[in-house]
Chain A
Amino acid sequence: MRERGLGRPAEPAPAGGTTGPARVLVLVYGIFALAAGARAGVQLATRYDEAPVAYLLSALAAVIYAVATVGLARGGSTGRRTALTAIVVELVGVLVVGTLSLADPAAFPDETVWSGYGRGYGYVPLVLPVLGLLLLRRGRRDPAPG
């Protein structure tokens, strides 16, 4: 009963695969792709004129999250390269937009996912690319057996 209730014993997670910690990250990226995409969609559809730059940035963030999600989920050298590119762009994006939004709040009248380094999302947008890069690095150093 304990087996059924709490789950069967786990298999070990190979480093660099698409299982294990990578799977957790894929879900987080997927949720952020959904959140940023929905936010951008609503903003662009209902009040594009108010802050086009901020809303287009939201849309760009959504695309980057989606690309990173797919790259991490597919794995392999192509998927990892895709994910790496997307995550680097994401890290630069959150740092640049975060800094600009604090330095010049007038330019960002409405929040984006990356405003204030992602403070509207519990700073997860700031931590996420770092975790992503660590994961990709770990996988490269210690390739999956078989």
Chain B
Amino acid sequence: MTVVLVVAATVVAALLVVLGLASTVAGRRIGILHLAGAGLLEAVLVVQAVLAGVAMAGGDTPADVPTFLGYLSGVLLIPVAGVLWARTEHTRWAGTVLAVAAAAVGVMVWRLLQLWEATGA
């Protein structure tokens, strides 16, 4: 869990929010750019989950392990759910669906960092 990764995830998520809202405003469905953005976001989250897992295996654990693991695994599902849900949407709202998913990720990664920095001691 590093601030750098959280910031990276936030930036990608913010871009995806803009991209999603843009296609809603433009009256379009989602395209390759949206899928690429969601893929990149998911990749950052996977790296984060792996690094956190390695750190925890090394004995570096947050105070509230169950909640931390809940967020860590839950956040991985959101971009996937957003893409699946947006791809089958043929109206202009597809982009907003993806934007909402990205915004949720943007909030969750900061909550994750907060949980990580709260040590048991």
Residues on A facing B (Cβ under 8 Å): 3-13, 19-21, 23-24, 26-28, 30-31, 34-35, 38-39, 41-42, 45-46, 122
Contacts and interface: CB of A to CB of B under 8 A. Distances in A.
Contact of B89 (A5, A9, A23, A34): A23
A3 B31 contact: yes
B97 A23 contact: yes
A31 B32 contact: no
A79 B20 CA distance: 28
Contacts of B32: 4-5
Contact of A28 (B27, B28, B77, B100): B100
23 contacts: A3-B31, A4-B31, A5-B31, A7-B23, A8-B31, A10-B27, A10-B29, A10-B91, A11-B90, A13-B93, A19-B93, A21-B96, A23-B93, A24-B96, A24-B100, A27-B81, A27-B85, A27-B101, A31-B100, A38-B71, A38-B74, A39-B70, A41-B70
A5 B81 contact: no
Contacts of B31: 3-8
Determine the main DSSP class of B at the interface with A: helix
A7 B94 contact: yes
Interface in B39-88: 66-67, 70-71, 74, 77-78, 81-82, 85
Interface residues of B, number: 34
B8 interface: no
Given A6-B28, A7-B31, A24 B97 contact: yes
B28 A31 contact: no
Determine the main DSSP class of A at the interface with B: helix
A26 B85 contact: yes
A120 to B, nearest CB: 10
Given A7-B23, A7-B28, A26-B85, A12 B78 contact: no
A27 B28 contact: no
A23 B85 contact: yes
Given A10-B27, A45-B66, A30 B34 contact: no
B74 A35 contact: yes
B30 interface: yes
Nearest to B68: A42
Contact of B81 (A21, A30, A122): A30
B7 interface: no
Contacts of B101: 27, 31
